[in-house]
């Protein structure tokens, strides 16, 4: 009876993971899961006096998350290393995780980097070049408006310390709403700005607001970027397009359990539960968690 229940629970778990594929062995499913790579997306980091919010994660909470990755023996790799393995048609290291940060806030240097340095973790920061040294501004109402941004000297210091710098346009515009010419200028211009100032090739890009279409992808490719991050959620497999890499956003209010689920499944816990309940409803079963006792 116990073994039967265990098999049922295992099937439920694989359903949540999206790995229960007919005709594939357990070893094949596990291999797909073990080598699928989550790309974590952060924005701003708060000092001890700042309250956690959607886009701002306190330093202590971020430090606990990085400690958990270390304790669980995940291998944190740079986005460029991940792209290199994909372009060479090889699998990334087993249990790989990629850390990214959008926009380029000053606290990426003052708050997040000391934590990354403690654990010797690489990361990629996508910067908005026309806002470097100023304050963040977006036409969309955001709690981040007015937040100090990284300076060129801080960006150079981060790059020298092994943090990768990527493009995030010049003005953080929604590229899907721009004419083709303006979109090209925003994308290629950000790459040109960074490479001229840092005297280093920039390979990675992140779509503002995670939004893109076929025209925008073409502009990114023509600008010479090797890969681009979207806001599509899920784990990255060999089938994931390099110009539409998936990321899971880590909210500043996420608990350590929710963070662990995001790393394992490439989805936030709320999305996982909605998908699980929807699947169980379609199958005519009582929608409950795969983790129920």
Domain coordinates in residue numbering, the chain: 1-35+268-293, 36-254
Phi/psi of residue 149, nearest 5 degrees: -105, 165
Position 214 scores a pLDDT of: 96
pLDDT value at position 221?
A: 97
Are the CB atoms for 275 and 17 separated by under 8 Å? no
Per-residue pLDDT, 283: 58
Cα-to-chain-centroid distance, residue 148: 22
The residue among 42, 122, 109 whose CA lies nearest residue 75 is 122
Query: What pLDDT sits at residue 158?
Result: 98
What pLDDT sits at residue 286? Answer: 53
As a whole number of angstroms, the distance between CA 53 and CA 45 comes to 10
CB of 125 closer than 8 Å to CB of 168: no
Instruction: Note the pLDDT of residue 124.
Output: 98
Q: Are 212 and 169 in contact (CB under 8 A)?
A: no
Say if domain 36-254 classifies as CATH 3.40.50.20. Answer: no
- Give the global pTM: 0.84
- pLDDT tens per residue, the chain (293 residues)? 434 444 444 444 444 444 444 445 555 555 555 679 999 999 999 997 899 999 999 999 999 999 999 999 999 999 999 999 999 988 898 999 999 999 999 999 999 999 999 999 999 999 999 999 999 998 878 899 999 999 999 999 999 999 999 999 999 999 999 999 999 999 999 999 999 999 999 999 999 999 999 999 999 999 999 999 999 999 999 999 999 999 999 999 999 999 999 999 888 655 555 554 555 566 565 544 433 32
Q: Write down the pLDDT at residue 30.
A: 56
Residue 209 — φ and ψ, nearest 5°? 65, 10
Identify the pLDDT of residue 292.
Answer: 35
**DSSP tag of 173:** -
């Amino acid at each position: 009876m116990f073994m039967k229940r265990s098999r049922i629970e295992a099937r439920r778990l694989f359903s949540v993971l999206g790995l229960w594929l007919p005709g594939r062995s357990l070893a094949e499913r596990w291999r797909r899961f073990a080598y699928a790579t989550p790309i974590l997306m952060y924005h701003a980091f708060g000092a001890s006096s700042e309250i956690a919010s959607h886009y701002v994660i306190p330093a202590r909470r971020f430090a606990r998350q990085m400690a958990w990755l270390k304790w669980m023996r995940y291998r944190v790799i740079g986005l460029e290393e991940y792209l290199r393995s994909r372009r060479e048609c090889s699998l990334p290291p087993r249990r790989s995780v990629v850390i990214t940060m959008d926009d380029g806030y000053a606290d990426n240097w003052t708050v997040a980097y000391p934590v990354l340095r403690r654990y010797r973790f690489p990361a990629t920061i996508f910067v908005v070049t026309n806002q470097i040294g100023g304050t963040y501004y977006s036409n969309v109402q955001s709690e981040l408006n007015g937040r100090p941004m990284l300076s060129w000297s801080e960006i150079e210091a981060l790059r020298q310390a092994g943090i990768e710098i990527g493009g995030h346009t010049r003005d953080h515009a929604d590229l899907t709403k721009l004419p083709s010419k303006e979109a090209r200028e925003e994308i290629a211009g950000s790459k040109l700005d960074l490479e001229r100032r840092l005297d280093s090739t920039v390979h990675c890009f992140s779509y503002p607001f995670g939004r893109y279409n076929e025209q925008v992808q073409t502009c990114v490719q023509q600008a010479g970027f090797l890969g681009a991050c979207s806001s599509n959620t899920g784990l990255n497999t060999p089938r994931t397009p390099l110009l539409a890499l998936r990321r899971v956003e880590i909210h500043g209010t996420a608990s350590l359990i929710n963070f662990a689920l995001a790393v394992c499944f490439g989805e936030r816990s709320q999305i996982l539960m909605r998908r699980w309940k929807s699947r169980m409803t379609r199958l005519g079963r009582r929608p409950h968690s795969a983790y129920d006792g």
